[in-house]
Amino acid sequence: MKGPHFLKYCIPLLRVMKNLGGSGATGEVVDAVIADLKIPDSEVEQLIPSGQSRVRNQIQWARFYLTKAGLMDSPKSGVWRLTQEGVEAKLTEEQVYQLFQRIHQTVGGDAQSRAKKKEKKEKENLDNDIVEDEAHSESLLETLKALTPKASSASANACSPRSVSTTSRSPVALVTKASMASAASA
């Protein structure tokens, strides 16, 4: 079947729900799908990083998309139910894939729009960092300008090359290194 692996559970989930009379407790339905497909315990026991069974998680995703498509609902917590449209549905694998594509575009968006949102957020974070660095640099520069020649000499001695890391990229280290280089050439 085309698309994500969980799509293979959509048709069996609808079939099991119909066999259960149209509704059932979450655990009961998931167990019935596993039994219907004769999924071996070794496969059911494979876990995803969250610690949940991969198979059970994928059945939950199948249910999510069927719910978004209007074929299932959840009248109360822990209960899955077919809607009238779900009872009448006879989906093919191609229809499941089309359903997924339609729902995914409205729920998850496309990769390009997600990438644009991520890029915008990263740019905003970078702009905030630059503003903070500029404000700090301006404050430091004003402090250095306000120093008297005698205080500047004492500061330069306190910030000898041995006490300032040459690998540091902080505004303080860069200004200090620039001051030391200027004093050395004078």
pTM of the model as a whole:
0.58
Query: How does pLDDT run along the chain (186 residues), one tens digit per residue?
Result: 788 899 999 999 999 999 999 999 999 999 999 999 999 999 999 999 999 999 999 999 999 999 999 999 999 999 999 999 999 999 999 999 999 999 988 876 555 666 666 676 676 666 555 555 666 677 777 877 778 666 555 555 555 555 444 455 555 555 555 555 555 555
Distance CA 56, CA 131 (A): 47
Please state the length of the chain. 186
> What residue spans define the domains of the chain?
5-109, 113-185
Residue 9 backbone dihedrals phi, psi, to 5 degrees? -95, -10
Residue with tokens 């300008």: 145
Distance CA 119, CA 140 (A): 31
Q: Provide CATH code, domain 5-109.
A: 1.10.10
Give the CA dihedral 57, 62, 67, 69, nearest 10 degrees.
Answer: 150
Q: Where are the alpha helices (DSSP H) in the chain?
A: 10-19, 26-36, 41-44, 54-68, 84-88, 93-107, 111-146, 149-158, 171-185
